[in-house]
Amino acid sequence: MSILPILQFPDPRLRTEAKTVLCIDEQVHFLAQNMLATMYDANGIGLAATQVNTHERVVVIDVSETRDQPMVIINPEIVWASDNISKGTEGCLSLPGIYCDIERSEVVKIKYMDKYGKTQEIHADGLLAMALLNKSNFC
């Protein structure tokens, strides 16, 4: 696995629209593995492919305390978000050292494809909901 360079704000490539992944092949698996290695190396909890200059709708997240529960989320789609809003402090690997209070829905439902191409749905709250909503901004 390789550690990929993370684009830093205000790099205009961070605003490039990510394309829907049509085929989950070895290239997508390799990208996800490298993204996870990069995220762990940078001590992050989430990373979008756009942040490593690959403009596809691929996100990796691991909010576990033991850093051993990686999620690979392909083509995420927010299907529902609660009306209850909470403010939380967030950081971004593309804005190192900067943390802001952001208001987000407390609970979210996301539909996505897993690394096997199977459609999944996750109902998340807390830190996972925040990370999913944060990374969905890049997709």
pLDDT digits (tens, 9 = 90+) for 53-73: 999 999 999 999 999 999 999
| DSSP 8-state secondary structure symbol assigned to residue 64 | -
pTM of the model: 0.94
Q: Which of 73, 133, 91 is nearest to 6 (CA)?
A: 91
Q: Which amino acid is at 107?
A: V
Pairing of strands 85-92, 119-125: unpaired
Range(s) of the domain holding residue 86: 12-136
pLDDT at 49: 98
Q: What percent of the chain has pLDDT over 70?
A: 99
Number of domains composing the chain? 1
CATH value at residue 73: 3.90.45.10
